Copies of this chain bind each other. A is one copy, B any other.
Amino acid sequence: MIIPFLTPDLRPELDLRVEKVRKAMQVAGLKAILVSSTANILYLSGCIFRGYIFLSVEDGPLFITIPPSVTEASSDTVTLHKPELIPGMLQERGMTLPEVIGLEYNDMFYNEVERLKGAFAGCGFSNASPILMEARMIKTPYEIEKMKEDGEHHVAAYSRIESCYWPGMTDIELQIEVERVLRREGCLGYLRVAGSRMEINMGSVIAGDNADMPSPYDFSMGGAGADPSLPVGADGTELRNGMSVMLDMNGGFNGYQTDMTRTWYVGSLPDLAFRAHDCSLKILHELEYEARPGMPLSDMYRRSMEIVKSEGLEDYFMGHRNHVKFIGHGVGIQLNEQPVIMERTKAVLTENMTLAIEPKFVVPGVGALGIENTYRVGADGLENLTPMDESLKELKK
């Protein structure tokens, strides 16, 4: 595989990202990192290859490919057969071996990190993952464009969801039809998530009381799933009168992702369901209007809780039997990036953060209510990257 990176048009963009990573390295007092996780390789090269990226405050980025990934020889690429050859190669190229090297403790298996530690005998080591999370948290203009493009496809696919419905179908049957619509719209069909405990197929469709089944994964809503080996999302519930049907399906079309939820219902729902749904919209619209660079994310969480309490809906907010303690999260290359919108977050809103905000409710006997949009943090508020009718809509044929 000849690596197609460093195409002239992508070069300035990658330079910008390297600059952001170097700034985060300086703040952390770290002089060199060796990156190898797929998400961070993608961030720093624009593609996924097998190998490593070495970056120090003065040298690199040096793209080190391991076969079958190879690259044409150039001043910033090299192909090696194993990571143990990296230190010798750096010295041959006249680079100083770092005293301390950052490795991705949050993104690589224990034995992979230990192997690299063995290769860099005599060096000290530190965790590079927070540095890369920090850099990736604020998107470049190019990344924002990719995510907007992503949101457009996501909305285009969601606008066809109602045509997927037939009376008597199950939540799984609906999900399968929506997966096909998403894939035909260009969705790559792979959800790139951070963390070893996040497993899901192309997304989540939750109908009726299945909404109240907490999952062992870190998703906002649960669902029992179709099998004990994948206990999340749709469980085969037949869509019936009086049920809400929440769709939170994969929006990854181009290496970036948007996260988007809309909710439908069958037949008729009690007033409480509409009140909960309206409360979700009220939270989002207030945050859209009030959010400004500089605002602590913990304030967004607190403001949401105030609105929920003023409506008397706290029993249903972010779950009913089990309440999740966040209302949103960063999103980009991975579905679950930094920061997390929760009470304890120290993070502050910054221009060009991209946030999925998902104030959701679970009403027993009805199901999940509310929506989720992906936003760019702008100077004057939040810019919605997934604009589409937000109302609670009826599914009918």
A interface list, Cβ under 8 A from B: 1, 4, 37-38, 42, 46-51, 67-69, 103-114, 127, 129, 172-173, 176-177, 179-180, 183-184, 186, 188-190, 192, 195-197, 199-202, 213-217, 222, 226-231, 254-255, 322, 333
Contacts and interface: CB of A to CB of B under 8 A. Distances in A.
Nearest to A10: B228
Nearest to A4: B228
A49 B217 CA distance: 8
- Report how many copies the assembly holds: 2
Contact of A189 (B68, B201, B216): B201
Contacts of A172: 183
Contacts of A201: 188-190
Contacts of A47: 228-229, 231
A230 B46 contact: no
Nearest to A252: B229
A80 B253 CA distance: 39
A195 to B, nearest CB: 8
Contact of A105 (B37, B110, B322): B110
Contacts of A202: 189
10 contacts: A1-B215, A38-B196, A47-B228, A48-B216, A48-B229, A103-B110, A105-B114, A109-B195, A172-B183, A189-B201
Nearest to A182: B176
Contacts of A227: 188, 254-255
B214 A229 contact: no
Contacts of A67: 322
Given A48-B228, A105-B109, A180-B180, 5 more contacts: A1-B231, A38-B196, A50-B197, A103-B110, A188-B229
